[in-house]
Every structure is written in structure tokens, then in C-alpha cells.
């Protein structure tokens, strides 16, 4: 289990559409282990494989925010169905868009069909924070980031800011 580097915007890989997984084997389980370690290390509550540069349709989540009783969730080839017409909004951030937050509206509940860590077919009814997180991560599988829902101006300001930070990786504040 290894903590991997998380790709940050702007990065072309993050815009790639991820490919379905044929079979959940040892390689995929190791990837999921790395993903969950990377996510915990970065204090995130969700991560898609493409965020560590692997274009596979795999996401991991842990919305428990409980350091002692961790509740990792693994989704392979997730498909979202029955999105509710009602919307809820949360202030969202993203490990690939560091330090930036915005209120995003999404369907308040949905069903997710997926394969679990052991490759078994599962269906989950999600609402509230879980529904939002799943939909945020599903977007990553399509190459979509939450900043894509913002106005062009707001989005370009954020990308400009992130590009500047990237250009000065050695900058320190003491
Ligand atoms: Zn994200």
C-alpha cells in the first residue's frame, strides 16, 4: 500500500475519460488500497483512480470523517441511476483543485450500481453527502471537475491561480 502523488489541475490526464475494468483482480485491489491510503493521507473523503493517473473506472470514498472507525467504500465500474429531481448543494472542494471551494448543486439522491472490492455486484441507495460525493467522483471518470460548473470567468481565475502555484513549487512562507 502506497501513498501516490495526486494530480492537480491544470493537467490533461484529469480530463481523460476513464475505461471500464474487465475484472477485479489483485492488481485492481492493490490500486484500490493505494487510492484509499492516498485519500486518507491527503485528508480527502473521495478519490478517483484518474487522480493518481490511472484511467480506470474506480472510485473510493470514506465520508465517516472518523479517524478511529474508518469506513472505506470501493466502487468499480459505478453507474448512477434514478437521480432525484430535487437538488442539494454543498460547498465542494477537490484534491485535484487544491485550496478552492465552491457551492455546487447536484441531485439530492441517486442509486449506484457497481462492483465492490471483491468484484461482487452491488446496488447502493445514496442521499445527502454520500450522493454528492459519488456524483463528484463519477464526474472525474468523465474528465469533469467541479470547477466546470462555475462561470467561465470564475473557472479561468481558479486555473490561473493554480498554474501560478505550480510554477513556483519551491516557494515557502516562513
Ligand atoms: Zn475531486
Query: 1-48, pLDDT tens digit by residue?
Result: 799 999 999 999 999 999 999 999 999 999 999 999 999 999 999 999
Instruction: Give the residue among 2, 10, 112 at the shortest CA–CA distance from 59.
Output: 112
Would the pTM count as exceeding 0.85? yes
**Euclidean distance between CA atoms 164 and 57, whole angstroms:** 30
Distance 86 CA to ligand 1 centre (A): 22
Distance 171 CA to ligand 1 centre (A): 25
Q: How confident is the model at residue 160 (pLDDT cuts 50, 70, 90)?
A: very high
**Euclidean distance between CA atoms 82 and 80, whole angstroms:** 7
The pLDDT value recorded for residue 171 is 65
The question of whether 28 is a catalytic residue gets the answer no
SS3 per-residue string spanning 40-101: HHCCCCEEEHHHHCCCECEEEECCCCCCCCCCCEEEEEEEEECCCCCEEEEEEEECCEEEEE
What domains lie within the chain, and their CATH numbers? 12-167 (3.90.45.10)
- Greatest alpha-carbon span in the chain: 51
Amino acid at each position: 500500500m502506497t501513498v501516490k502523488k495526486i494530480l492537480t489541475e491544470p493537467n490533461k490526464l484529469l480530463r481523460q475519460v476513464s475505461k471500464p475494468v474487465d475484472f477485479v483482480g489483485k492488481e485492481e485491489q492493490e490500486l484500490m488500497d493505494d487510492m484509499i491510503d492516498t485519500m486518507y493521507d491527503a485528508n480527502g473523503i473521495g478519490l478517483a483512480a484518474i487522480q493518481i493517473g490511472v484511467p480506470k473506472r474506480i472510485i473510493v470514498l470514506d465520508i465517516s470523517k472518523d479517524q478511529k472507525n474508518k469506513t472505506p467504500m470501493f466502487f468499480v465500474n459505478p453507474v448512477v441511476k434514478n437521480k432525484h429531481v430535487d437538488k442539494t448543494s454543498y460547498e465542494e472542494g477537490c484534491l485535484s483543485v487544491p485550496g478552492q471551494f465552491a457551492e455546487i448543486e447536484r441531485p439530492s439522491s441517486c442509486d449506484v450500481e457497481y462492483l465492490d472490492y471483491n468484484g461482487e455486484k452491488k446496488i447502493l441507495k445514496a442521499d445527502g453527502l454520500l450522493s454528492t460525493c459519488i456524483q463528484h467522483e463519477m464526474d472525474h471518470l468523465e474528465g469533469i471537475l467541479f470547477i466546470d460548473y462555475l462561470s467561465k470567468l470564475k473557472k479561468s481565475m481558479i486555473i490561473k491561480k493554480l498554474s501560478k502555484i505550480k510554477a513556483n513549487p519551491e516557494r515557502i512562507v516562513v
